[in-house]
Amino acid sequence: MSLPAYLPILFLLVLSTLFAVASIWVSSKLGPRKWTVAKLQPYESGIVPEEGVAENERFPVKFYLVAMLFIIFDIETVFLYPWAVAYEELALFGLIEMGVFVGLLVAVYVYVWKRGGLEWAE
């Protein structure tokens, strides 16, 4: 392990930092600015955001809960695909492991369901 071996990495680091800073600076100086109402929207070409959110009001924490539940069950699918691909090779080991994994998620599902996490209305 010698220091000169790392010189190219250092060089790249400096160069990329310089490039990033320079491009932001140049575009802020040279780029034309024409504000329109559409451009000031959070999503320029998407759905109109909820009323109230734009006025700095709080929006329901339930959005957060839904997003979190989505990720939990989405990740489940992500893990199921590779298992399906390597099903033969993993054999019994894979079956047990996935059984444990899905079993844990079922437990979470029952918990969320019974606790009313899936209901939107208060």
Partner 1 sequence: MGLNTPEIELLGIAPEIALVVGALFILIVDAIIGEGGNKWHLWILSTIALGVSIFLAVQAWGSNELQMGDMIAVDGFAAFVKITLAVFALLTVWLSRSYLHRDGIEESEFYGLLLFAVAGMMLMASAADLIMVFLALETFSLALYVLVGFRRTSLTGQESAMKYFLLGAFSSTFLLLGIAFVYGAIGSTQMYGSSAAGAGAQGIATALVSLPAGEFTLLVIATGLLVVGLGFKVAAVPFHMWTPDAYQGAPSPVTGFMAAATKLAGFAALIRLLDAILFPLRGDWRPLVIGIAVLTMVVGSVLAVVQEDLKRLLAYSSIAHAGFVFTGIIASNDRGVSGSLFYLATYGITVLGAFAVIAVLGGRDERRTTVDDFRGLFYESPLLAGALTLFLLSLAGVPATVGFVGKLVVFGAAVEAGYSWLVVVGVLASAVAAFFYLKVLVVMYMQERQEGAEPATSGYGGLATGVIGLAALATVALGLYWSPLIDFAERATFFFSAGG
The binding site for partner 1 (CB under 8 A) comprises 1, 86, 89-91, 93-94, 96, 104, 107, 110-111, 114-115
Dist CA 31 CA 24 (whole Å): 10
Q: Which CB, 66 or 83, lies closer to partner 1?
A: 83
Q: Compute the least distance from the CB of residue 86 to partner 1, in Å.
A: 6
Eight-state DSSP code of residue 51: T
Contact 53, 59 (CB under 8 A): yes
User: CA–CA separation, 97 vs 112, rounded Å?
Assistant: 23
Between 44 and 119, CB nearer to partner 1: 119
Minimal distance in Å, beta carbon 96 to partner 1? 7
